[in-house]
Amino acid sequence: MLRHQILDFLAQHPEKYVSGERISQQLNVTRAAIWKQIQVLKEEGFEIEGQSKNGYCLLKTPFALNEWVLKRALSTSSLGSKITLEDELKSTNVRAKELARQGSVHGQVVLARLQSSGRGRLQRPWDSPRGGLWMSVVLCPNLSLADASKLTLAASVAIVDALEELFSLRIGIKWPNDLVFNGLKIAGILGEVVGEWNTVQTIILGMGINVNFSREQLSPLLNATTLFEILGYEVDLNILAAGILKHLEKQVLSLEKRAFEELRENWSDRATGLGEEVRILRGEQVIQGIFKGITIDGALLLETNDGEKSFSAGEVQLRSKAGKYF
């Protein structure tokens, strides 16, 4: 794409002005064509200064999702090898599933700047305004279906690690894979299986992170927060996406080596509510007990009045200092 070639050329000359003439010769197009593409890039959020004498200089890349910026930030070998980025999608998970059925590759990433009907766990809607990171990864890992279910645990660890590495922020994991800060949800993961139970499995890992928008843009009923509320400034979504994919790739490789105990420990290190009194909601049923940890399969272990029990599904409520469950 001509726009990307112009960016590549400008990026090869950091902090320097490159004349329109030089770019047009290099890329074998007219200066008018260059000028037109520079205007489009500016609309996309690139800060490019144009001086009539000296030419163009790339000053800043956008914080909004952008394929060129994201590709430059990526340090992975398989995740993100193919990227589908749309301004708006109903749901990146739905698109990723369509692509998977058409035979997409392991590591294909689907992103949207806005989702019009984002989906959460337990058939809930997922508010996905502009400024969030709405991303799905198609994985065809070398794992049995039972072990593939651990990928959502791996994804939560990857997101926590990326947020810590990039912003020195310590986020907790609320079983099974809600990411919380001070009891408020900042991100969630939706893992879905594509295909028949007995064939080679493709997994869609959908990750939703509330990033560059204020809390008011989410339903008031949600116990949620955003990275912007926590940090007080906006961040580069491309850097964040690349950071998460880097940590996720590491986690997937480690799972493929069957390092389940390591994942369990990593997950537990970041868990909120360990050793505390919690409630599990399973439909109408409410079970109370002490949260002892997770099993190697990711099931939650609860010390109840009737002894130790494990749960592979349900919703956890933690107990606040005031004694309320949330």
Which residues contact ligand BTN by CB under 6 A? 91-93, 115, 118-121, 124, 126, 128, 134-136, 178, 188-190, 206-208
Residue 37 known to bind ligand: no
Residue 243 known to bind ligand: no
Q: Which is nearer to ligand BTN, 136 or 238 (CB)?
A: 136
User: Shortest approach of ligand BTN to residue 53 CB, angstroms?
Assistant: 47
Q: Which is nearer to ligand BTN, 20 or 107 (CB)?
A: 107
Residue 132 known to bind ligand: no
Q: Which is nearer to ligand BTN, 23 or 159 (CB)?
A: 159
d(CA 283, CA 62): 44
Task: Report, in angstroms and rounded to the nearest whole number, the Rg of the chain calculated over CA atoms.
Answer: 22
Residue 66 known to bind ligand: no
Q: Which is nearer to ligand BTN, 55 or 118 (CB)?
A: 118
Helices of type H across the chain: 2-11, 20-27, 31-43, 67-73, 92-101, 145-148, 151-167, 227-231, 237-256, 260-269
Residue 121 known to bind ligand: yes
For residue 39, count CB atoms less than 10 angstroms from its CB and return exposed for 0-12, middle for 13-18, buried for 19 or more: exposed
Q: Which is nearer to ligand BTN, 20 or 206 (CB)?
A: 206
Residues in CB range of 55: below 8 A, 6 or more apart: 17, 18, 19, 20, 21, 22, 23
User: Shortest approach of ligand BTN to residue 125 CB, angstroms?
Assistant: 9
User: Shortest approach of ligand BTN to residue 275 CB, angstroms?
Assistant: 24
* Nearest one of 163, 173, 130 to 239, comparing CA atoms: 163
Residue 119 known to bind ligand: yes
User: Looking at beta carbons, which residue is closest to ligand BTN?
Assistant: 188
**What are the φ/ψ torsions at residue 300 (nearest 5 degrees)?**
-85, 135
Residue 115 known to bind ligand: yes
Q: Which is nearer to ligand BTN, 23 or 209 (CB)?
A: 209
Q: What is the 3-state secondary structure (H, E, C) of 265-326?
A: HHHHHCECCCCCEEEEEECCEEEEEEEEEECCCCCEEEEECCEEEEECCCEEEEECCCCCEC
Annotated binding site: 91-93, 115, 119-121, 185
Annotated binding site for biotin: 91-93, 115, 119-121, 185
